[in-house]
Structure 1
Amino acid sequence: MKKLEMVIKPEKLENLKSILDDSQASGVMITNIMGYGNQKGFTRMYRGTTYAVNLLPKVKVETVVADDAAEEIISRVVKEITTGNYGDGKIFIYDVLDAVRIRTGERGTDAL
């Protein structure tokens, strides 16, 4: 099993949810976050004063899927979510040793 942690632009969330639904991801956790990477934010002008906005809104989407489904999801996200600009996001991939469904005690892929 793999845990995919995807940090994307908020406006791409619906596209990502469609990809995950098509790939039979059984569940997702979505968190609104703030951050910056290579783009380092941007500069704005307000009433004659320039100020820097260096924390940009992002969305973190986490899901745990089977190993073979992970590669399909990753390739579709890279292909369909990209705009070609800084700030498109990142995908972090973790190995999951085990999972336990608290309600039934099921383990492994049965717990997904």
Structure 2
Amino acid sequence: MKKIEAIIRKSKFSDVKKALHDVGVNFFSYWDVTALGNERIGKVYRGISFSTGDIQRRFLSIIVNDDFEQVTIDAILKSGATGEVGDGKIFVYDVNETYRIRTGEKGGETLR
């Protein structure tokens, strides 16, 4: 099993969520986060100065069986990209075991 963490633009969340559902990833957790990006340029919008260094993003945490790893990554890459700096990152980790709390069942079947 794999844990896939993705940090994406908030504006692309609906597209990514739909793409994940379309490939069969129907459960994941997400949070609103603030990230510190590489670009530190001050911008002015409607007379208000702000820094582009602190960036509002959405953090997704997804656990999938090994056979869904690449499908999940591809769905995020295709639906989350704008082609601009700051589209985000994807991290992949191994998961040793999962348990379903309700039944005590363990293993990959707990993800279905």
Q: TM-score by structure 1 length?
A: 0.86
Give CA deviations for 1:1-48 in whole Å, capped at 9, x if unaligned: 1111010000110111112111222411010000122223x4134897
Give the aligned partner of residue 5 of structure 2: 5
CA distance in 1, matches of 2:48, 2:25: 47
CA distance in 2, matches of 1:9, 1:46: 19
| Alpha-carbon distance change, 49 to 37 in structure 1, aligned in 2, over 3 angstroms | closer
Give CA deviations for 1:47-87 in whole Å, capped at 9, x if unaligned: 97855342110000111011121101212322232111111
Give the aligned partner of residue 57 of structure 1: 56
- Aligned length in residues: 111
What CA RMSD, in Å, does the superposition of the two structures yield over aligned residues? 2.1
Give the aligned partner of residue 31 of structure 1: 31
Q: Structure 1 regions of 5+ residues with no counterpart?
A: none
Q: Structure 2 regions of 5+ residues with no counterpart?
A: none
CA distance in 2, matches of 1:77, 1:49: 33
Preserved contact between residue 25 and residue 64 of structure 1 (Cα < 8 Å):
no
Q: Which amino acid aligns with 1:64?
A: I
Matched ranges for 1:31-110 at <5 A: 31-40=31-40, 42-45=41-44, 50-110=49-109
4+ residue segments displaced more than 6 Å: 46-49
| Alpha-carbon distance change, 44 to 19 in structure 1, aligned in 2, over 3 angstroms | same
Work out the percentage of aligned pairs sharing the same amino acid: 34
Preserved contact between residue 33 and residue 59 of structure 1 (Cα < 8 Å):
yes
